[in-house]
Structures are given as C-alpha cells and as structure tokens.
Amino acid sequence: MSAPPLEEEEARRLDLDDPLSRFRARFALPAGPDGRPLLYFCGHSLGLMPKAARALVDEELDDWEALGVEGHFRSRRPWYSYHEQFRESGARLVGARPGEVVMMNGLTVNLHLMLATFYRPTAARHAILIEEHAFPSDHYAVASQIRHHGRSPDESLIVARARAGEPHLRTEDLERLLDERGREIAVVLMPGVQFLTGQALDLARLAAAAHRQGCVFGADLAHAAGNLPLRLHDWQVDFAVWCSYKYLNSGPGAVAGCFVHERHGRDRSLPRFAGWWGNDPATRFEMREDFVPRAGADGWQLGNPPILALAPLLASLRIFEEAGIEALRARSVRMTSALLALLDRLPAGRVEVLTPRRPDERGCQVSLRLRGGGARRLHDALAQRGVVCDVREPDVLRLAPVPLYNTFSEIGRFARVLEESLA
C-alpha cells in the first residue's frame, strides 16, 4: 500500500498559517540543476547560510581595509569587545545567565579546556562516564585526557550502554549506574541530543544524579543548541560545550560556545589552561606576567576573538532572538510529528525509526535504520532526487526538518521520494 502524502493543500495551509514560515526567506537555499531548491534536511550537520551573514562579514572587511589596527576600537562593532555582543543572546540561547557563556574556539578545544579544569582524577575518583556511540571526537578527547593523567581508558573510561535490543539510553539506567559507580567517577559527559539516534536526554535529572555522587556534570550540546530550549543554569550543569555550525547556522568550522556555571566562574582559583584574552580586561594590556582570570566563562578564553568567523554567528543569533527558541521548538514538534506519521505509512519491515516517539525525548533530527543494510545506496538514490541528508555506516540515515527554513510541503515531498527510492 502506498504511503499517502501529506496533502499538498494541507501542507500549504500549515506553512501559510505559521508566522515562523517567514524566516525561510532569510536563508540561502541550495538549488539543484533545475534551479529548484533542494530538499535540504541536513541542518543537524551543517545549517544553511543566513543571507545577512555576507553583509556582516563584508562590513568587517571594509572596516579592516579602512581602519587597520584602529578597527579594534573604532570599527562599527569594535573588535576588542566583539565577543561581548553574545554575552546576553548566547546566554538566552542555552538558558544561562550573562557571563556564563562565551563564544570561542571549536567544540573539542573547549571540551579539552573544560576537562583541564574539571577532570582532576584521584586514586579513588578517576573515571569519566560517557554514552555508548558518543560522537567520536568526544570519545577521543576524554580518552586522551585520561592518558594525559597517566591512566588507562580501559580502567577509567566508563561507557553507559542501552539495554540489549533497545536503541536509546534510559534515564533510570543512567541513574542506577551513577548510584553504583558514582564514587569512582570524576566527570560525567552526556549529550543534550545523541548524535546517532536523535534522542534528547534529561539533563536536569542526570545532573542531579551526578551531583548526588559528587561528580562534575558536563554536557555536549552540539545537537541541542539552537534545537531545544535549554536551562543550563537552573539545571545546575557544571559546564557545557557546543558547536554553532549545525542548528545555529554559523558556517563551516564556525566558532563554538562554552558554558561555565557561575558558581565555578566566580572561583578564580580553579586550575585552567590560561591565555591572555581570559585575563582581566582592566589589566590585559599592562602585559603582566601574573594571570588574573576574568570572572565568568570569559576567564577560559585563550586568544582574541576571530572577527570574520564570529560575524555569521551574529547574523544567526539575531534570527533566533527574533523568532524565539520556544516558538521554534513548537514548530519543530509539529514538523517531526508529521514526518513520523508519514514514515509509519511506509511498507512494513524496511525502515526502523531510531528516534524516540515522545516529543520531549527528541529534537529536530529523525534517524532511520535500514533493515538489511543499504543505507548508502538509499542515500545516493535520495541525492539523485534532490534530497540532502546524511548516512552513518553501516545502516543509519539522519535527517532534520529545521523549523527556521524547512517546510511542511518539503516533508510531504520527502515522504513520496523516500517511498519511491525504497521501491
């Protein structure tokens, strides 16, 4: 039986009736050979370019051309304090207080900086807890930190696994693991959204469970920032890191984000890898040898901010400020619900939905497992039909209807293309 499409008239009505639909026009949409926009469902990997990014980058180039070094203080957005433009918008994005968030470096660099401070292994408390199928860069980072401290990942890397036959981690199982082994765990590192399955974890419960055992709780928000409403300060997360090239649409290799809870940010005695831009700006140019960190997350900065890389992030966060993460989240739930309903009408036995069905346990991303393999072949067939998604070997397709620029009409078209490609 063929999967009935999302009726075109209904899809158009859903798009027309939603005030958030207007934001699609703010993005550059990749087009196929026929000039028609591709069905771009890869925002979980690289978000589309805000059209305003080009003008903001050009303005910085113009100021550099006209002012040279004086642009640090005389440009339209002075470079010396450029990163402070994100002090409040960046905090609102992840549910933090101003001063708890700084945009800097890349995600894995920020993760290493956080572990340099918060992973202080002892003979009794030496382990780091991560999830099974963690993003490889996270796995590499924590394993290398363990080795850096003279220990072996075989002994000090604990991996939380799903139950046999289940794709998702259960919160109660993670809590039980922490109850059983928490006294040997120094740092817990969990994703806001698991990159392979698209599962959204309950960070508030997990942070509380970690703290009951005396563990530091950190989060990788690569697939959560700009995707889900977050409350990092209220959830008592100790630190968090994220990239901004996925749902935050800031460009390939974009500047990442870092959160440090204010109870740690106020503690200037915390050990850290230091650099001059983390120094108190009141004395930064006195070139003193003694490092006096600025209070808050800014105190973990190393070098001055990369202006040309931050300009696209400024363009993106202006859109988020206007649209509102709560409204985007509501639209996202409607979109993924529509997609899941269409997937359920496909012929049985070929496609398994890995992403949780409950809206509070997923974000934009929907992951599909191809029973019997063939994910790469299906991916290539979809690409020939103008669909942009990605594949994770051996058998998982990932796609994300992003509420800022995808439409219900595109979801309906994708379902039809998917069924035809499977056939």
Cβ pair 70, 236 in contact under 8 A:
no
Residue matched to tokens 């800022």: 404
For residue 341, is it within any domain? yes
Domain boundary among 321, 340, 356: 321
For residue 115, is it within any domain? yes
pLDDT of residue 2: 42
Helix and strand numbers (H, E) in the chain are: 14, 13
pLDDT of residue 1: 37
Q: Are residues 303 and 346 in the same domain?
A: no
Write out the two tokens for 43: 């925002």
Strands 396-399 and 387-388: unpaired
Helix (H, G, I), strand (E, B) or coil at 390: strand
Q: Are residues 169 and 301 in the same domain?
A: yes
pLDDT of residue 3: 41
CA distance 400 to 234: 28
Whether a cis peptide bond, with omega within 30° of 0, leads into 5 is no
CA distance 203 to 232: 8
pLDDT of residue 347: 83
pLDDT of residue 373: 77
User: What is the amino acid identity at position 260?
Assistant: V
Domain boundary among 294, 321, 348: 321
Intra-chain end-to-end CA distance of the chain, in Å: 12
Beta strands in 289-403 (DSSP E): 351-353, 366-370, 387-388, 390-392, 396-399
Helices assigned H by DSSP within 169-272? 171-181, 203-212, 262-265
Q: Are residues 314 and 328 in the same domain?
A: no
Closest CA to 398 of 364, 374, 421: 364
User: What is the amino acid identity at position 288?
Assistant: R
For residue 43, is it within any domain? no
CA distance 15 to 384: 26
For residue 47, is it within any domain? no
Q: Are residues 237 and 260 in the same domain?
A: yes
Please count the other Cβ atoms lying within 10 Å of the Cβ belonging to residue 68.
10
Write out the two tokens for 181: 């082994």
Q: Are residues 143 and 231 in the same domain?
A: yes
Q: Are residues 239 and 379 in the same domain?
A: no
Find the CATH number of the domain harbouring 413. Answer: 3.90.1150.10
pLDDT of residue 4: 45
Q: Are residues 22 and 142 in the same domain?
A: no
pLDDT of residue 288: 85
* H or E segment and range at residue 39: strand 39-40
pLDDT of residue 6: 66
- Give the up-direction half-sphere exposure of residue 256: CA atoms within 13 A in the CB hemisphere: 22
For residue 286, is it within any domain? yes
What is the domain range of residue 396?
Answer: 8-37+324-422
Q: Are residues 284 and 317 in the same domain?
A: yes
Task: Give me the residues paired with residue 410 across strands.
Answer: none
CA distance 311 to 328: 23
For residue 46, is it within any domain? no
Domain boundary among 321, 339, 359: 321
Closest CA to 79 of 59, 99, 93: 59
Q: Are residues 256 and 287 in the same domain?
A: yes
Task: Give me the residues paired with residue 240 across strands.
Answer: 219, 259
Tens place of pLDDT per residue across the chain (423 aa): 344 456 778 888 888 889 999 999 999 999 999 999 999 999 999 999 999 999 999 999 999 999 999 999 999 999 999 999 999 999 999 999 999 999 999 999 999 999 999 999 999 999 999 999 999 999 999 999 999 999 999 999 999 999 999 999 999 999 999 999 999 999 999 999 999 999 999 999 999 999 999 999 999 999 999 999 999 999 999 999 999 999 999 999 999 999 999 999 999 999 999 999 999 888 888 888 889 999 999 999 999 999 999 999 999 999 999 999 999 999 999 999 999 999 999 888 889 999 999 999 999 999 999 987 788 999 999 999 999 999 998 899 999 999 999 999 999 999 999 999 988
Find the CATH number of the domain harbouring 310. Answer: 3.40.640.10
Number of domains observed in the structure of the chain: 2
For residue 134, is it within any domain? yes
Write out the two tokens for 284: 């930064």
Q: Are residues 396 and 307 in the same domain?
A: no
For residue 236, is it within any domain? yes
Q: Are residues 339 and 367 in the same domain?
A: yes
Q: Are residues 224 and 346 in the same domain?
A: no
